[in-house]
C-alpha cells in the first residue's frame, strides 16, 4: 500500500481547516463577540493546535500501525479491546456527522446566496452525497493526492478574497478590547468550537502516513501559520463590516466587494464561489469517508462498501431534510451541546494518546 506523504497530509490539512471556517464562522464569531471576535478565534485556534500536537504524537508513535486494530491476545482480551475501541469511534462518528451537516448547509448557502436564488436544497445535497459515496471507493492516497492538485485554487481564492480589502483595514475598530467583558468571548469560542475541529480526522489514517524527518515541526509550523491567518481574517472582517458583520453569512464572498474586478459581478465573481465550493466538496468527501471508515471499524464489516456508504448517505439526507432543515437549527443544536463537543474534542485524541503511551507505540 502506497503511504500518504508528509506533503500531501500537510496540504490537505490546510484545505480541510480553511474550507469550513471562511464562510459562516466569521459571522458567528462577530455576532457573539463583536470587536473581540478575533480573540474568540484565537482561543479556538490555540485549542486546535494543541489537539493537532496530540494527534501528531499518536501518528508518529504508530507510524506502522493502525491504532484501531485489535492486538492478538486471548479471546477475552480481544473482546475487551474490541469493545473499548468502539467508544472513541462512536464519539468520532458523532463529530463527523455534525461536520457533514455543517458542510452541506454551508455549501447550500454559498450557492443560494451567490448563484441560484431558488435552488431547492435537495438539488444540491443529493449530488454532494453521491460524491461522498464515490470517495468511499477510492484509496486514502488518492484522496490526499486531490489536495496536491487543488491547493493552488485555495491560494488563489484567498488572494482574490483578502488582498483587495487589505488597505481598507482600520485597526482602531478592534478597540477597546473586552468592552463587554470576557464572558462573550469565552461563550462564543465554546459555541463555535466544532468549526476548529480539524485534527481528529487524521487519526483515521494512522499507519497510512509516511513519517519523514521533522514531520511534527513542519506540520505544526504550517498549522500555526494557517491559524494565525484565520485570526487575522476575522479581525479584518470585523474592521470592514463592523455592526453589519453579523448579517454577512458568506464571509469570504462578501470580502470580494472590495475588489473592483469582482465587484462588477458577472462570471468573474462566480470564479471565487466555484473555488470555495470545490474546497468544501473536498472536505465533505474526506469527512464522509472518515464517517464511513468509522462505521466499518465499529461494525467490524470489512466489505459491503456500497451498502454502508449508501446507508450513511441516506441517513445524512434524512437529517438535513427533516431534523436540521436550516443553518439556524443546526447552530442552535451545536450551542446547546457545546460542553459535550468540548469534552469530545479533548477526550478523543487524549484517549488514544494515553493508550499509545501505555502500549509503547504499539497497537492500541
Q: Which regions of the chain does DSSP assign to beta strands (E)? A: none
Rounded to the nearest 5°, which phi and psi values hold at 242?
Answer: 50, -125
Residue 52, domain member (yes or no): yes
| Selection from 149, 113, 88 nearest residue 24 by Cα | 113
DSSP 182-236: SHHHHHHHHHTGGGG--SGGGGGGTTSB---TTHHHHHHHHHHHHHHHHHHHHHH
Q: Compute the 3-state secondary structure of the chain and give helix, strand, coil in percent, each to the nearest 5.
A: 80, 0, 20
The whole-angstrom separation of Cα 234 and Cα 316 is 30
Rounded to the nearest 5°, which phi and psi values hold at 170?
Answer: -125, 100
* CA–centroid distance for 344 within its chain: 15
Half-sphere exposure (Cβ direction) of 173: Cα atoms closer than 13 Å: 18
Residue 160, domain member (yes or no): yes
Q: Which domain holds residue 302?
A: 6-359
| Selection from 217, 220, 238 nearest residue 228 by Cα | 220
Residue 328, domain member (yes or no): yes
The whole-angstrom separation of Cα 109 and Cα 320 is 13
Cis peptide before 176 (omega within 30 of 0): yes
Please give the average per-residue pLDDT across 204-227, as a whole number: 88
The whole-angstrom separation of Cα 16 and Cα 199 is 9
Residue 1, domain member (yes or no): no
Residue 103, domain member (yes or no): yes
Rounded to the nearest 5°, which phi and psi values hold at 195?
Answer: -75, -15
| Selection from 295, 321, 283, 348 nearest residue 18 by Cα | 283
Give the tens place of pLDDT for each residue, 88-126. 788 888 889 988 988 888 777 777 666 666 667 677 788
- Find the angle CA(141)-CA(276)-CA(9) to the nearest 5 degrees: 25
Residue 140, domain member (yes or no): yes
Give the tens place of pLDDT for each residue, 157-207. 777 767 766 667 776 766 777 777 788 888 888 888 888 888 888 888 887
Give the tens place of pLDDT for each residue, 332-348. 888 888 888 888 888 88
Sign of CA dihedral 66, 312, 139, 275: negative
The domain total for the chain is 1
CA-based diameter of the chain, in Å? 69
Given a cut of 60, whether residue 266 has pLDDT beyond it is: no
User: Residue 255: what pLDDT?
Assistant: 64
pTM above 0.75, yes or no: yes
Give the tens place of pLDDT for each residue, 296-325. 888 877 777 788 889 999 999 888 877 777
The CATH number covering residue 344 comes to: 1.20.1740.10
Amino acid at each position: 500500500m502506497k503511504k500518504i506523504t508528509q506533503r500531501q497530509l500537510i496540504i490537505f490539512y490546510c484545505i480541510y481547516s480553511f474550507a469550513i471556517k471562511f464562510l459562516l464562522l466569521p459571522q458567528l464569531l462577530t455576532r457573539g463577540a463583536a470587536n473581540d471576535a478575533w480573540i474568540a478565534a484565537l482561543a479556538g485556534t490555540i485549542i486546535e493546535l494543541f489537539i493537532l500536537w496530540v494527534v501528531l504524537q499518536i501518528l508518529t508513535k504508530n507510524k506502522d500501525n493502525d491504532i484501531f486494530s485489535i492486538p492478538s491476545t486471548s479471546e477475552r482480551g480481544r473482546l475487551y479491546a474490541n469493545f473499548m475501541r468502539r467508544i472513541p469511534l462512536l464519539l468520532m462518528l458523532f463529530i463527523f456527522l455534525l461536520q457533514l451537516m455543517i458542510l452541506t448547509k454551508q455549501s447550500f448557502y454559498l450557492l443560494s446566496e451567490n448563484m441560484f436564488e431558488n435552488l431547492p436544497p435537495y438539488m444540491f445535497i443529493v449530488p454532494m452525497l453521491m460524491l461522498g459515496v464515490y470517495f468511499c471507493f477510492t484509496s486514502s492516497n488518492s484522496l490526499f493526492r486531490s489536495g496536491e492538485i487543488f491547493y493552488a485554487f485555495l491560494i488563489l481564492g484567498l488572494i482574490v478574497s483578502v488582498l483587495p480589502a487589505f488597505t481598507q483595514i482600520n485597526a482602531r475598530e478592534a478597540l477597546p478590547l473586552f468592552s463587554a467583558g470576557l464572558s462573550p468571548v469565552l461563550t462564543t469560542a465554546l459555541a463555535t468550537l466544532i468549526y476548529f475541529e480539524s485534527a481528529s480526522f487524521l487519526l483515521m489514517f494512522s499507519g497510512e502516513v509516511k513519517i519523514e524527518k521533522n514531520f511534527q515541526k513542519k506540520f505544526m509550523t504550517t498549522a500555526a501559520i494557517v491559524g494565525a491567518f484565520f485570526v487575522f481574517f476575522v479581525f479584518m472582517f470585523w474592521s470592514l463590516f463592523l455592526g453589519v458583520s453579523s448579517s454577512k453569512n458568506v464571509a469570504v464572498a462578501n470580502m470580494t466587494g472590495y475588489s473592483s474586478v469582482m465587484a462588477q459581478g458577472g462570471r468573474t465573481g462566480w470564479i471565487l464561489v466555484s473555488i470555495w465550493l470545490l474546497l468544501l466538496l473536498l472536505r465533505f468527501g474526506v469527512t464522509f469517508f472518515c464517517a464511513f471508515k468509522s462505521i466499518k471499524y465499529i461494525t467490524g464489516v470489512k466489505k459491503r462498501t456500497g451498502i454502508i456508504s449508501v446507508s450513511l448517505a441516506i441517513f445524512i439526507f434524512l437529517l438535513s431534510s427533516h431534523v436540521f432543515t436550516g443553518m439556524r437549527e443546526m447552530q442552535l443544536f451545536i450551542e446547546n451541546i457545546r460542553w459535550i463537543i468540548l469534552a469530545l474534542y479533548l477526550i478523543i485524541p487524549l484517549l488514544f494518546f494515553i493508550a499509545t503511551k501505555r502500549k509503547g507505540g504499539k497497537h492500541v
